[in-house]
Amino acid sequence: MIRRFQDYDLSPRNTFRMRAKCALYLEYDSVADLEALDFDALPRPLLSIGEGSNLLFTRDFPGTVLCSKISYVKFFDLGLDEVPVSAGAGVKFDDLCARMCAEGLWGLENLSLIPGTAGAAAVQNIGAYGVEFKDIASGVSCYDIEKRCKCSFKVEECAYGYRDSFFKRPQNKERYIITGVLLRLSRSIRPRLDYGALRTFFPDGDPDSPQAVREAVVRTRREKLPDPLEIGSAGSFFKNPVVPREHYEAIVRAEGDVKVPHYDLPDGTVKIPAAWMIDRLGFKGRRHGGAAVHEKQPLVIINATGEASARDILALEQEICAAVEQRFGIRLHPEVEHI
């Protein structure tokens, strides 16, 4: 079934809780609904959203916002180690994590508690604690608006990169609607504990259930990140920048005695946590109107009062970018999509 709403207030549909309207808002339950839809008659542009957890609406949207409520979860346990799982694009990603961990299937546990839907996870290549969506995905099902047919992509065809994919390319954004994801999870014990302090949760040896890892990840995230039910935000606001090794070394020299956290990448470049740079510049808790830099994780900009305007958030973004560029010579790029 399709539900249509004209001149629709999107504030309950984006986790930043920005007030913005769209000309038309459509929710659909199945691929058949998409097949029956007259796309030519819809106000343009088109924008597919999941839970709106990575979006910043900076003004009203003149087109159609499409929201998938396709919500099946199927898994095919053939007694083999690898267990294929398919899920509708509208499934809450953390519900999928919770369910698969409870089934004893490994793969999704490090991605616990990330807001958003399965469809959005496939666009954004979500990641946390050393695992990205692409690592556990085998394919993505879509509806092709241009050709008016179903299609699918293998994970290798999705051009996955750090918070990036084929689906983010401008020419694909209005062409493909993600309808489902195909994952490959595992029955055998596979904890991935190398990121940050995750391993310290298991002083007596590796955990033997994905549920145990999920609980550790949930605790870590709850300590650092704002509770989406209480405070509006869109998670990490900026991407972690990647710089040539010489640039990183110049920062190390300039910062003197302080240890500069970093991850060496296989191609010789270096990723520096934006959170560290923002923290070093003293931005924790900095406010602009109703927006603020989160006290516990400065990569997150929050709607502190519940009444922040997009202008407040953009002003804080610019202030942070200018300060980081001046001190470290690095231009930060937002991870959150500005609409």
- The answer to whether residue 128 forms part of the interface with ligand EPU (CB under 6 A) is yes
Of 13-21, 80-88, 144-152, 273-281, the segment contacting ligand EPU by CB under 6 A is: 273-281
Among 191, 207, 235, 241, binds ligand EPU (CB under 6 A): 235
Q: How far apart are CA 16 and CA 306, in angstroms?
A: 9
- Judged by beta carbon, residue 173 or residue 284, the one nearer ligand EPU is 284
Of 5-13, 61-69, 180-188, 292-300, the segment contacting ligand EPU by CB under 6 A is: 292-300
Any long-range contacts for 1-7 (C-beta under 8 Å, 24+ apart)?
Answer: 1/28, 1/29, 1/33, 2/26, 2/27, 2/28, 2/29, 2/33, 2/36, 2/37, 3/27, 3/28
For the bound state, the minimum distance from the C-beta of residue 196 to ligand EPU, rounded and expressed in Å, comes to 5
Q: How far apart are CA 326 and CA 281, in angstroms?
A: 11
- The answer to whether residue 299 forms part of the interface with ligand EPU (CB under 6 A) is yes
Contact map string, positions 74 to 113, toward ligand EPU, x by CB under 6 A: ----------------------------------------
Of 13-21, 37-45, 206-214, 234-242, the segment contacting ligand EPU by CB under 6 A is: 234-242
Helix, coil or strand: residue 248: helix
Who contacts 290 (Cβ-Cβ below 8 Å, separation ≥6)? 303, 304, 305, 306, 307, 308, 309, 312
Among 100, 275, 313, 316, binds ligand EPU (CB under 6 A): 275
Among 68, 141, 297, 303, binds ligand EPU (CB under 6 A): 297
Q: How far apart are CA 295 and CA 207, in angstroms?
A: 31
- The answer to whether residue 261 forms part of the interface with ligand EPU (CB under 6 A) is yes
Q: Are the C-beta atoms of residues 58 and 314 closer than 8 Å to each other?
A: yes
Task: Catalog residues that contact ligand EPU under the rule CB under 6 A.
Answer: 128-129, 195-196, 224, 235-236, 239-240, 261, 273, 275-276, 279, 297-299, 335
